[in-house]
Structure 1
Amino acid sequence: MPAWFAARAAAGLLLYLNGGGRQVRDFVHVDDIAEGTLRAPTAPAADGRTVNIGTGRPTTIRTVAELVAAHFPVTRVLETPMPPGDPLGGCASTALMRRLHWQPAIDVEEGVARYVRWLTSTPAALPDWLRQEAGRRA
């Protein structure tokens, strides 16, 4: 979701908030996922168990849109109806990973900021079809 919103904002497109963006998700940075994924298999306490790698922190879709929009001041947000069946969401239970002395190091605010920096310094990362959509709407 953060990458999708950032790409749309960088292209000058609207950010759509289905149901006003009330849904929550557990956004975890890819670097934290990688470290947690490497740590879990080596921990005897995790042997044979399902391990959730997440922040344990519910973040609304609206919050993510607002974080992205703060980096692209001309970005507009449009609330749209909630699609049927769209879950309100939740967050991961991270108790086992905490017992393994692991917790994510990058919060959603920093993760969005890092992605936006990368996206703005790598203009070729914006897909051509998204640029074309922006051109049609201009």
Structure 2
Amino acid sequence: MEIKNKVIFVTGGAGFIGSHLVDRFIQEGAEKVLVYDNFSSGSLGNLEQAKESGKVEVIEGDILDYKKLEKSMSGADLVSHHAAELEVFTGIKNIPHDMKVNIEGTVNVINACLENEVKKLIYASSGGVYGQAKYLPEDEEHALLPHWPYGVSKLAGEKYCTMITQLHGFPTVSLRYSIVYGPREWYGRVLTMFIKRVSEGKPPVIFGSGEQRRDFVYVNDVIEANVLAIKNNSVNGDYFNVSSGKATSVKELAELVLKAFNSDLKPVYDDPPEGEASPYQPERKRLVGELIDFVLDTKKPRDKLGYEPKTGLEEGIKKEIEWYLKNRQAWEREPRV
């Protein structure tokens, strides 16, 4: 479906990825964008640019409040569902909360779509549905063995989307993101920790050997994948990886950040137990059940959607640093992991 002249409803639209989507929908000529967010992590500041268009309506609401959700969605042609409990640690410590937000919340969104006769739903999933990599890069046929509650709940959301397409013919597409980074990223993930520390004259702290490999995808490439999925009418009920497809070790990531700052600092290596902090970096604990490698294959979205990631990691890091140095207050809160 086309975006131009459409009414679009974005859950989590004041968040990192959601707000960039709102910007793009305005650029694409949407008639109106309805932002539905409970502001647990999103910020009105992320919407400043989009609100200048006069086409953005902000609704403070929770996806667990079905009555408000259904009423607020009235008149929408397209729904982009990005509201979620994103923190892995929170999910591990409170599985019922993770399940309620990410599964019940997603079912609420789907039901509200059906009640409001929405024409299409894009669901933000995660490469976390794969768990530990059995091979690299991980394609969409990789075993689905998530080992965090977050990955389990995201996978359940995908299954509901696919099922509803099969049962009702309602068009849905699920997008499995790798590690999305860029301006407006929330503070707590490895790249943000490195950037903040180096900007303060502190060395980046690497847990373990630093050889762990990750797949970082720039937020604008993720937005492009969303737009391609929206406009393609032949992929309903399908699911796609959204990533750079390139492996970067944590050690290499630290080196790129140091290079971007033209810094002479050297990384500090430490190996704290999972779930515990390092004395060198007490502000962030080591993730429980850390992935050894996490790199997603891009062949399917390239072939079926025409997806082509364009922003290289070195360039993207510079853009995120530029944004952070102008918006330091955005990372003043406790890190979210």
Tell me which interval the TM-score lies in, with the shorter structure as reference length. Answer: 0.7 to 0.9
Residue 298 of structure 2 corresponds to 94
The aligned amino acid for 1:60 is S
The root-mean-square deviation of aligned C-alpha atoms, in Å, is: 2.1
| 1:79 and 2:269 are equivalent in the alignment | yes
Deviation at 1:89, TM superposition (A): 1.7
Structure richer in strand, relative to its length = 2
AA aligned to 1:77 is: P
Pairing of 1:31-110 with structure 2 (within 5 A): 31-72=220-261, 73-81=263-271, 83-84=273-274, 85-99=289-303, 100-110=305-315
Contact 1:12/1:74 (8 A) holds in 2: no
Does structure 2 retain, via aligned residues, the 8 Å contact 1:25–1:59?
A: yes
Task: Give the C-alpha shift of residue 78 in structure 1.
Answer: 0.5
Q: Give distance in 2, aligned partners of 1:83 and 1:105.
A: 37
User: What whole-Å deviation, never above 9, does each CA across 1:85-108 have from its counterpart, x for those lacking one?
Assistant: 322122112112111211111011
Cα distance in 2 between the residues matched to 1:115 and 1:127: 12
Bigger relative contact order, structure 1 or 2 (CA pairs below 8 A, ≥6 apart): 1
The unaligned stretches of length 5 or more in structure 2 are 1-189, 275-288
Identity of aligned residues (%): 26
The answer as to whether partners of 2:228 and 2:306 remain within 8 angstroms in 1 is no
Deviations 1:64-122 (Å, cap 9, x if unpaired)? 100001133143310112644322122112112111211111011111111122223x1
CA separation in 2, counterparts of 1:4 and 1:75?
15
Q: Which has more helix, going by share of residues?
A: 1
Paired amino acid for 1:69:
L
CA distance in 1, matches of 2:317, 2:328: 19
Distance 1:123 1:47 in 2: 39
Aligned residues: 129
Question: Which consecutive unaligned segments of at least 5 residues does structure 1 have?
Answer: 131-138
1:46 is paired with a residue of what secondary structure?
coil
Matched, 1:111 2:322: no
- Distance in 1 separating the partners of 2:273 and 2:238: 34
Amino acid at match of 1:80: D
Amino acid at match of 2:212: Q
Partner Cα separation in structure 2 for residue 80 and residue 47 of structure 1 = 46
Q: Report how far residue 5 of structure 1 moved.
A: 1.0
TM-score (norm 1): 0.81
Could you tell me the TM-score, scaled by structure 2's length?
0.35
Contact 1:19 1:83 in 2 (8 A): no
